[in-house]
Amino acid sequence: MVITQYELNEQNVARATVELSHEEFDKALNAVYLKNRYSINVPGFRKGKAPRKMMEKIYGEGLFYEDALNDTIPEIMRFITEEKELKPIAQAWVDNADRNDDTGLVQVTMNIPNYPVIELEPYAGLSAVRKTAVVTDAEIDARIDEVRARNSSLVPCDRAANLGDTVVIDYVGYIDGQPFAGGKAEGSSLELGSHQFIDTYEAQLVGSRAGDDVEVHVKFPFDYHSENLRDKDATFKVHVHEVKEQLRPELDDEFAKDVSEFETLAEYRDSIRAELLERKENVVRDEFYGLIMEQIVDSAKLELHDSVIDEQTQNMLAQQGAS
């Protein structure tokens, strides 16, 4: 295999003509013959036993030519790419493939789109506004509140339920005075305000106490997952067993020791500030670099072959279709 002609056009598409010797292409023909010989009938021979030359004599010299050529194309592609140190960016295509009947030589001309050569304008002196990363006390407090919430516990309380409390309840649901399937539970825990239940169900339990019986009136959404309940008015008879409040740990040095490697709350707050500041500085840095890169890209010059644009467009459409 040898490259007889080669050029690289202004769109960085390599056009190369490769010549295969008679022996090289005959090897490809024989491989196709071996793969297909059992599917070709030859009078006087059992399937798979007829010689290749006999098959070509009966069915024509070009019997295995097209398949052999198709099988050889990837090898030719690799050869050109390695020899010319190319970096393909899109699907290559074959312009022509000819075989000399006298010499047996096969010539294949391929076009291989490569990564474009990008011409950059001088970028010294480009400017952009770089923001200042700032961490507020409120952001630190919010992070600590999240940690306190994760380390909280539910404890029974002797008072009326508020939003954020958890009630332990039994309930039975009725539509048109009749109980409905799936509308009954015992000992169910429900955090008020979590929107775990439909409509105003949870809000109607605010103010209830342990031992109370509450009648809750709701309307199922028109798009509810159970078709038989969609857009139906329902009444739930609820018995409240317990009201539990979320008990968060005290915000002190002991809390800091329990949830971190630090000995004091002040040290713990400083560590959170440093962590948040590092994240924000990374974001600010990336945004700044992004603004500079946009200016560089806007001024860059490159030419892409239509095949590259078409292939990328088809890939994007395929991805959108899959999603």
Task: Give the pLDDT band (50/70/90) at residue 305.
Answer: confident
- Say which residues have a Cβ less than 8 Å from residue 108's Cβ, sequence separation at least 6: 17, 18, 20, 69, 72, 73, 76, 94, 96, 97
When pLDDT is averaged across residues 84-97 and rounded to a whole number, the result is: 91
Cβ-proximal residues to 186 (8 Å cutoff; 6+ apart), any chain: 170
Extended strands (E) in the chain: 2-8, 13-20, 93-99, 106-113, 153-156, 166-175, 178-191, 213-219, 233-247
Full-model pTM: 0.53
Q: Residue 166's closest CA among 91, 247, 102, 75?
A: 247
Predicted local distance difference test score (pLDDT) of residue 170: 98
Checking if the pLDDT of 306 tops 80, the result is no
What pLDDT, on a 0 to 100 scale, did the predictor assign at position 323?
64
Confidence of residue 101 (pLDDT cuts 50, 70, 90): confident
User: Per DSSP, what are the bridge partners of residue 98?
Assistant: 107
Supply the DSSP symbol for 46: -
Listed in sequence order, the residues at least 6 apart from 56 whose beta carbon sits closer than 8 Å to its beta carbon are: 63, 64
CA pair distance 81, 90, nearest whole angstrom: 13
- Mean per-residue pLDDT for 28-33? 95
Whether 166 has a pLDDT exceeding 80, the answer reads yes
Residue 303 has pLDDT above 80, yes or no: no
Binning the chain into helix, strand and coil, the percentages to the nearest 5 are: 40, 25, 35
Question: What confidence tens digit (pLDDT) does each residue in 215-253 have?
Answer: 999 999 999 999 999 999 999 999 999 999 999 999 999
Q: Is 32 helix (H, G, I), strand (E, B) or coil?
A: helix
Whether the pLDDT of residue 15 is over 80: the answer is yes
Q: What is the mean pLDDT of the chain?
A: 92
Residue 122: is its pLDDT beyond 80? no
**Residue 158 in contact with residue 210, Cβ under 8 Å?**
yes
Spatial distance between the Cα atoms of 229 and 181, rounded to a whole number of angstroms: 10
Which pLDDT tens digit goes with each residue over 202-211?
Answer: 999 999 999 9
Please check the confidence at residue 195 and state whether its pLDDT lies above 90: yes
> CB–CB of 13/305 below 8 Å?
yes
